[in-house]
Every structure is written in structure tokens, then in C-alpha cells.
Structure 1
Amino acid sequence: MKLAYVAALMVAGIACISVDAPAGQKVPSEVSILNSAGSYSVSGSLPGARNSADSKQRIGCQLATSAGSTTISGRCEAANAQGQYAQCGTTAPHLLEVIKAIDSGSLLYFRYDPLVTMPGGGLPECASITLDKNSLYEPKNP
């Protein structure tokens, strides 16, 4: 009985030892706007932009239509810490589906060529819109 009591105390003591353990991999995800051979690649997470130390960063997409219209259009936009701004638009149904899936914890990536504009002119047309929902990215702070 005494041996069982000592063994139980040892197990309890070992269980109480504190060990630093990583809480999961984290990736900073502030807004990045890159121009490569005339094509723009934009990425960043919504919380990363919101939590940034500066007041310039933002990233997101919007959907819009008007009364009497049968068309829905989407627009993605971003600004980085240096104040560089990027945006593109789309009416492509498959890209609009990606925009609909964005939530407050999403990492967003979009790509466009500024010389390729949407039908009717105006905004550059989005070549791709990618959404990543992953625990790697920081949550939004209040």
C-alpha cells in the first residue's frame, strides 16, 4: 500500500511538470502587393490587415448588383503598409463563388494584369481569386 501511495505521488508530480509546447504554427499574413512582369499578385489575410501596426493595410472583396440588373459583379481590393493600392473586378461565376466564401478569418490571394480590363472597360479583370481558410493565420483582434 505504501509503495502504491509513493508511485501515485510520483505520477502526480510528473504530470504537474510544466513544459513549454508550441501552440501551433503561425504565419504572419499582412498585405503584400507584388508586380512581376506587369502582372500583379496580391495576398494577405483579413485579420492580418486589421491587426497590422499601421493604419493603411486592408484587403477584401465585395459583391454588387443594382435593381433591375441580372448581373452580379465582384471587386477585390487591397492596400499594403506602404500605401500601394491594387484592385480587380469580375463577373465570372466561378470567381464570384470564391468571393461569397470569404469570411473574417480568410487569407485572400488575387492576381490580375492591369492591361486586361473587364468588359466595358474600367477595372482590371481578375485572372484568379484564391481563398485559404487555415489555422496558420492569426485571428482578428477586437
Structure 2
Amino acid sequence: MKKLLFVSAVLAVSTVAVAGSSGGQQVNIWTDSAGQTNANGTFKAVRNSADTQQYIGCSLYAYDTSSFSATCYATSATGQYASCFTSDANMLKVVQTLNPASYLYFVVNADGSCDRVISVNASYNLP
């Protein structure tokens, strides 16, 4: 009887361990009312998408001149592309938080610089 209770308890805990909200968003790219290009997506959903076209992310660059910058980029399933660059210290901090549980949103200024970079790291974004 004790073995049955133990097995039941383990199964109940296992079920709880994988429960919870799960979400994700494919890459979306659009132009807002101010004329700025916007892009967003969740790493998990994009990586697990059925197509082989879309991707989203940011790359960090450090140079021997002590400069530090990032470029964020995205391509949608339909082939739309957006990218921006930044050396803003606060945006660089956001880029450094990106991980497999990340949702990334960025806005591109007319000159190609980033207007904003936003990351949401949450359990519902995990694979």
C-alpha cells in the first residue's frame, strides 16, 4: 500500500512539474502609424516553427576600440526582414538578457538605429 501511495505521489508531482501556461509568437514585422518598422517574436515558437524561413535575435559586438554594440534582426515566414543597431547602454543590457525563454520586440528608426529593444523572459516561453 505504501508503494502505491509513493508512486501516486510521484506521478502527481510529475504532472504538476510540466503544468503551467505555455505560449509563443511567430515573427511579426509591421510598420506602425509613426512609420517605424516593428518586429517581435518568441525564440521558442520561432525555432519550432514549421517553416525554415523565420528567425529572430540579436548579436553583440565588442571591438578593441572599447566600443560595444548590438544588432537585432528578424525575418518572418513570408520573407519580411527588419534589423536595427544600437550602442545605447540600456538597450545593450536588454540584449544581454536574451535566452531560450525570450520574447524579443524591437523598433527601427528611419536611420536603422534601434528606437527600443524589449525582452520578456518568462516560464511560458520555455521549450
Q: 3-state DSSP class of the match of 2:91?
A: helix
Amino acid at match of 2:60: L
Aligned to 2:58: 61
Q: Which amino acid aligns with 2:81?
A: Y
Residues in 2 aligned to 1:51 and 1:62: alpha-carbon distance in whole angstroms: 20
SS of corresponding position for 1:95 = helix
Q: Secondary structure at the match of 2:67?
A: coil
Which digits, 9 at most, give the CA deviation of each residue in 1:43-101, with x for residues without a partner? 111111110000011000011123x3111111000001101010000000010011111
2:12 aligns with none
Equivalent in the alignment of 1:84: 80
CA contact 1:74–1:96 (8 Å) conserved in 2: yes
Structure 1 residue 133 corresponds to structure 2 residue 121: yes
* Equivalent residues in 2 for 1:1-142, closer than 5 Å: 23-37=19-33, 38-66=35-63, 68-113=64-109, 115=110, 117=111, 124-139=112-127
User: Which one has a larger percent helix, Structure 1 or Structure 2?
Assistant: 2
**1:138 to partner: Cα distance:** 4.5
**Who wins on radius of gyration, i.e. which is larger?**
1
Q: CA deviation at 1:26?
A: 2.5
* Matched AA of 1:137: N
Stretches of structure 1 that go unaligned for 5 or more consecutive residues are: 1-11, 16-20, 118-123
- In the alignment, residue 30 of structure 1 is paired with which amino acid? Q
> Is the 8 Å Cα contact of residues 29 and 137 (structure 1) preserved in structure 2?
no
Q: Write the letter of the residue equivalent to 1:51.
A: N
Length, aligned pairs only: 115
Identity, % of aligned positions:
31
Amino acid at match of 1:32: N
Other-structure match for 2:11: none
Residue aligned with 1:136, SS? helix
What are the ranges of 5 or more consecutive residues in structure 2 without an aligned counterpart? 9-15
Report the TM-score, using the length of structure 1 for normalisation.
Answer: 0.72
